[in-house]
């Protein structure tokens, strides 16, 4: 394992522990937080001022489609449950949090992400595009970040540590589920459960391979004219076995999947946020 891969493994291991963390012995005096309103999962992440994960929570939620908030009330309800869970473990309220969006979403729609965050009593400290957030964790100097969400695939080209180009297209994990449901004649929810079952994934691979090839086509088209040393696939869908190999073969590019790809972007959103103090006025009092 390379030094970079070992460091990422350690980082994601710390994040995994924050999902299961109990109440902190000492409430933090400062923190940074991020909210990922994804098509499939909503994730809330809180770090200390040194970027160490303190507490995190996530929930499956069908409240966003193709990067656009389609169920505002539902999104608020989900995030509020996550907020109460995380604040209860922190011992303080979360003063502010960053949000994120796929690169191709109109700015008029992006504002809805901030509105959801603020509707649960958290100030929105800013918004970042999802591939750029992912690179806050990957730390690429040169390469391509491909964030495969539920509804969209976002692409970011990184050169000398800076994101120099982004693109986005509507293909993602939801398309996996739709293909499986159609091919097997089952409901969307049944197909979603099959997709996540490791025992079924080898059988389902031939069905979803065309969607993987479509992602490869998006990557190839979006990076045309740019140097592409390595493609890093993140997002929960990227963990489906064989995804990196299909992208490598179809796009003619070197593709890899980092450890715990589902949580790379949420962690990066929190790392993109400013450090804010947890003043006495924000003290957690079990607010509803």
Which pLDDT score, from 0 to 100, does residue 5 have?
Answer: 54
Does pTM surpass 0.85? yes
> Which residue bears the tokens 């770090």?
47
Which pLDDT score, from 0 to 100, does residue 40 have?
Answer: 81
Are 174 and 151 contacting, i.e. CB atoms less than 8 angstroms apart?
A: yes
Q: What's the Rg (C-alpha) of the chain? A: 18
Are 10 and 231 contacting, i.e. CB atoms less than 8 angstroms apart?
A: no
Instruction: Classify burial at 225, counting beta carbons within 10 Å of its beta carbon; exposed 0-12, middle 13-18, buried 19 or more.
Output: exposed
Name the token pair of 174.
């939801």
> Which domains does the chain possess?
3-133+265-282 (3.30.420.40), 137-264 (3.30.420.40)
Who's near 31: CB < 8 A, 6+ residues apart? 46, 47, 48, 49, 54, 90, 92, 94, 95, 275, 276, 278
The span from the CA of 215 to the CA of 225, in Å, is 18
Which pLDDT score, from 0 to 100, does residue 283 have?
Answer: 45
Strand partners, 166: 156
Tell me how long the chain is.
Answer: 288
Are 83 and 287 contacting, i.e. CB atoms less than 8 angstroms apart?
A: no
Residue pLDDT tens, the chain, 288 long: 343 455 788 888 899 899 988 999 999 999 999 999 987 889 999 999 999 999 999 998 888 877 788 999 999 999 999 999 999 999 999 999 999 988 877 877 889 999 999 999 999 999 998 888 999 999 999 999 999 988 889 899 999 988 899 888 888 899 999 999 999 999 999 999 999 999 999 999 999 999 999 999 999 999 999 888 899 999 989 999 999 999 999 999 999 999 899 999 999 999 999 999 997 544 444 433
**Residue 52: count of CB within 10 angstroms of its CB:** 12
Strands 30-37 and 276-277: antiparallel
């Amino acid at each position: 394992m390379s030094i970079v891969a070992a460091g990422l493994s350690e980082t994601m291991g710390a994040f995994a522990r924050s999902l299961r963390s109990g109440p902190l012995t000492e409430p933090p005096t400062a923190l940074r937080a991020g909210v990922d309103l994804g098509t499939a999962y909503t994730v809330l992440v809180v770090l200390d001022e040194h970027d160490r994960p303190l507490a995190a929570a996530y929930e499956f939620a069908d409240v966003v489609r193709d990067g656009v908030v389609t169920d505002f009330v539902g999104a608020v309800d989900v995030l509020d449950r996550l907020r109460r869970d995380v604040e209860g473990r922190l011992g303080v309220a979360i003063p502010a949090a960053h949000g994120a969006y796929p690169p191709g979403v109109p700015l008029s729609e992006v504002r809805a992400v901030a509105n959801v965050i603020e509707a649960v009593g958290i100030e929105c400290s800013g918004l970042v595009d999802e591939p750029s957030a992912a690179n806050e964790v990957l730390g690429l100097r040169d390469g391509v970040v491909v964030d495969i969400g539920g509804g969209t695939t976002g692409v970011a080209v990184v050169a000398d540590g800076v994101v120099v180009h982004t693109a986005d297209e509507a293909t993602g994990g939801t398309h996996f589920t739709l293909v499986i449901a159609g091919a097997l004649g089952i409901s969307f929810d049944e197909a979603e459960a099959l997709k996540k079952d490791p025992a079924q994934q080898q059988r389902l691979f031939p069905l979803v391979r065309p969607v993987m090839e479509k992602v490869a086509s998006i990557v190839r088209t979006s990076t045309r004219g740019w140097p592409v040393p390595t493609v890093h696939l993140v997002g929960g869908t990227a963990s489906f076995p064989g995804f990196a190999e299909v992208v490598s073969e179809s796009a003619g590019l070197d593709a890899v999947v980092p450890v715990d790809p589902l949580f790379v972007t949420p962690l990066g959103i929190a790392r993109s946020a400013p450090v804010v103090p947890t003043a006495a006025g924000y003290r957690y009092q079990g607010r509803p």
